[in-house]
Structure 1
Amino acid sequence: MDEEEDLETLGEQLYTRIYPKHKDTAGKLTGMLLELPGPVLSQMLQDEAMLTAAVEKALRALQLEQEPSRVTCKDEDDVSVSSDSLGEQLFELVDIYNTGHSQKITGMLLEQHKEAVLNLLSDPKLLEEQVNFALKTLKEQNEETDVSDSSDADDTEKLGEKLFSLVEEMDPLHANDITGMLLEMDTAALQQLLSDHTMLEVAVQRAQAALDT
């Protein structure tokens, strides 16, 4: 019940703000904006620029509804233009959520069928779910990248420690330099050296020879 009362209050405030500039369509525009989430509406009432942008978007949508003949007989150019405008409308709505990844999330959502994108534009709850899901996916991708980077660094460090202890037994005086030279090899080769003592001895002798020159 409280939510309904809040929505009614928001609706009255929105209507009062919209009416002076759009007398004929104020009722319809208010109704369209009231489909947005409550927190977004409250923010709009405090932010004039945000409210103006939302009203303009709603106006464009109204104009499209009132021009069905143009929508039904589109040629190739019109179709591409409509896709662009879909992207713009979606970006503006996604941007309201201040995720910091509006461009990426819009791109992800636009990969869906046109009907699905139109559903997102008309259903704020569905849009919010999809934005949150896309944001979660982006975060997981970033975490995976971070983890793989750090695990590579950890592996190299561990290999370096093992290698150093083995090289130190053979040449304590130059262990640091030789280990450094061997660590320039790729991980697979290093693991082979650690598992094959003969190969390691050969690699150490080569490194010693290089140091002597």
Structure 2
Amino acid sequence: MQENMNKDDDVETLGEQLYTRILPQHSKHAGKLTGMLLELPTPVLSRMLQDEVLLAAAVEKAVKTLEVDSCQEHCKDEDDGSVSSDSLGEQLFNLIDVYNTGYSQKITGMLLEQDKDTVLKLLAEPKQLEEQLTKALKTLQQRRLDETDVSDTSDGEDAEVLGEKLFLRVEELDPVRARVITGMLLEMDAGVLRELLREHELLETAVHKAQAALGGSDFSK
């Protein structure tokens, strides 16, 4: 009982902090946006409050989702029961991308393989969406770990695959800001990124420089 009360208090406190941060930029929809973000896991919310970049990205995605929902309500009478696959995919992607997993496109594709009614339920039920997102994320991460060593990386490997591999390595060094730091490192040439993946010391150096640029301490220590 006490544990549940503490959990409710934590969520309420996080909600107040989020609302205060969102209000100056989005006064009209601050309450709705805060409610949408509060559907995320508590650790994710805590991380956002410590990282302005993550918070800004999450708010932006929530705003886009709100706009999509608003458009759907206005268009429902005109096009009842005929939501296109493209529209479903866009809505699903916007919701998934808020979690900053690094696999938004792939997870969206996996969930869209289900029938239309199931996808519509995911859009309407955040908890069910989170459960399926978690399962898909574990599957994708396991696939990455089971793949061949990065030394077999081909010259034709695209930026998305490099980014996914780099994220897993960076996450070990700075789990809190792995997404932001990976984005910074991805501005380098593909050849340099492959060197970072092969040489752990080079990767550590690059991560430390990114941490310094962000103006924070090494969260991994």
Normalising by structure 1, report the TM-score. 0.53
- Distance in 1 separating the partners of 2:129 and 2:78: 28
Give the C-alpha shift of residue 24 in structure 1: 1.7
Contact 1:64 1:71 in 2 (8 A): no
Give the C-alpha shift of residue 71 in structure 1: 3.6
Sequence identity of aligned pairs in percent?
A: 53
Deviation by residue 1:181-202 (Cα, 9 ceiling, x = unmatched) = xxxxxxxxxxxxxxxxxxxxxx
Which one scores higher on RCO, CA 8 angstroms, separation ≥ 6? 2
Structure 2 counterpart of 1:26, one-letter code: A
Give the match for residue 202 of structure 2.
Answer: none
Within the candidate set 83, 86, 90, 1:85 is matched to 90
Structure 1 counterpart of 2:30, one-letter code: A
- Distance in 2 separating the partners of 1:59 and 1:134: 25
Contact 1:90 1:106 in 2 (8 A): no
List structure 1 segments (4+ residues) > 6 angstroms apart after TM superposition. Answer: 139-146
Contact 1:120 1:127 in 2 (8 A): yes
Structure 2 counterpart of 1:52, one-letter code: A
Going from structure 1 to structure 2, the CA distance change for 1:4 and 1:70 (only over 3 Å counts) comes to same
- Distance in 2 separating the partners of 1:33 and 1:26: 11
Structure 2 counterpart of 1:119, one-letter code: K
Over aligned residue pairs, what C-alpha RMSD do you find?
3.3
Going from structure 1 to structure 2, the CA distance change for 1:136 and 1:62 (only over 3 Å counts) comes to closer
Give the C-alpha shift of residue 141 in structure 1: 6.5
Going from structure 1 to structure 2, the CA distance change for 1:141 and 1:64 (only over 3 Å counts) comes to closer
Which of these two proteins has the greater Rg computed from alpha carbons?
1
- Distance in 1 separating the partners of 2:101 and 2:144: 20
Query: 1:41 aligned to 2:45?
Result: yes
Q: Where do residues 119-134 of structure 1 align in structure 2 (5 Å cutoff)? A: 119-134=121-136
- Distance in 1 separating the partners of 2:68 and 2:137: 30
3-state DSSP of counterpart to 1:82: helix
Give the match for residue 117 of structure 1.
Answer: 119
Deviation by residue 1:103-129 (Cα, 9 ceiling, x = unmatched) = 333211111234433433454432332
Give the match for residue 60 of structure 1.
Answer: 64
- Distance in 2 separating the partners of 1:6 and 1:117: 31
Structure 2 counterpart of 1:43, one-letter code: R
Unpaired runs of at least 5, structure 2: 149-221
Contact 2:62 2:95 in 1 (8 A): no
Query: 1:51 aligned to 2:55?
Result: yes
Give the match for residue 214 of structure 2.
Answer: none
Give the match for residue 174 of structure 1.
Answer: none
- Distance in 1 separating the partners of 2:32 and 2:95: 20
Going from structure 1 to structure 2, the CA distance change for 1:40 and 1:117 (only over 3 Å counts) comes to farther
Going from structure 1 to structure 2, the CA distance change for 1:63 and 1:103 (only over 3 Å counts) comes to closer
Within the candidate set 105, 108, 132, 1:106 is matched to 108
Structure 2 counterpart of 1:85, one-letter code: E
- Distance in 1 separating the partners of 2:65 and 2:110: 22
* Matched residues, number: 142
Structure 1 counterpart of 2:121, one-letter code: N
Normalising by structure 2, report the TM-score. 0.52
Going from structure 1 to structure 2, the CA distance change for 1:20 and 1:27 (only over 3 Å counts) comes to same
